[in-house]
Amino acid sequence: MRDILTAPFVKEMMDTTANMYRLGWDERNGGNISYMLEEEEVKEYLDLDKVIRTIPTGFQADSLIGKIFIVTGTGKYFKNVKDDPETNLGIIRIAEDGTTAELLWGYKDGGRFTSELPAHLMSHMARLSVDPLNRVVIHSHPTHTLAMNYVHELDEKKFTHTLWEMCTECIVVFPDGVGVLPWMLCGNNTIGEATAEKMKEFRLVVWGMHGIYGAGRDMDETFGLIETVEKAAQIYMLTAHLPRVNTIKDSEMVELAEAFGVKYRKDFLNL
């Protein structure tokens, strides 16, 4: 059995959490990540018949039974993951009852997965229904994206359109747009259900006055989606109070999307 700390998926979690903390996206224990793993890649590092303990998830996830995830822990600071991954991360498998997680590794201090796990599982289920290759869900609090929530109308068409105007790459990187939810109480199944419903259309969902959810096929794609939104939001916050002299026109956005062959939300443009 190989050393779990050398596993690529553990290293990806260590590097990503460190990056997110460095960028100021995940203060204290804000933010969480879940990453669906293939059984074949995990069994090189863990005995999959050895269950350390079981933890109720608080959610019925029948379509994820047997699926394995590496997940950040509740109350854990992203800045500490790299120095002590076994305490701050855990590898779980959804048990046969669909409502229990079998802990295969991690949470060595007796901890458990993020309180947002039901929202993550719902988002995984929603994304898998439209993209069978989806594996990653990231929740974070990017500073400029959050700031934009306070000064921009929380309408997903208008919010997306403004972001698309900020950087030439935006309509190419997230042509499906950004879903937007109003402020909702976090840590419960209601916000998870609302997020999952949006995830059927969008890979990015803004939680009003809270943060953003991103989903993708791998860590780079998911991180890059949030990173691009945050860059666009930063440019918006730097320029919103100034006279607009230039902008990317809707006709130019169409030209971009068609040149790069992406399927974009035509209804989010003013044509």
Tell me which residue of 119, 129, 57, 127 sits closest to 90, measured CA to CA: 57
DSSP 8-state secondary structure symbol assigned to residue 4:
G
Q: Residue 196 corresponds to which amino acid?
A: A
Which of 27, 38, 102, 116 is labelled catalytic? 116
Is 116 one of the annotated active-site residues of the chain?
yes
User: In the numeric block, which tokens belong to residue 22?
Assistant: 């460095």
The residues, ordered by sequence, that sit 6+ positions from 103 with a Cβ below 8 Å of its Cβ are 51, 52, 53, 54, 55, 90, 91, 92
**β-bridge mates for residue 32, sequence order:** 139
The residues, ordered by sequence, that sit 6+ positions from 166 with a Cβ below 8 Å of its Cβ are 231, 232, 233, 235, 236
Tell me the pairing of strands 68-72 and 179-181.
unpaired
Which residues form the catalytic set?
A: 116
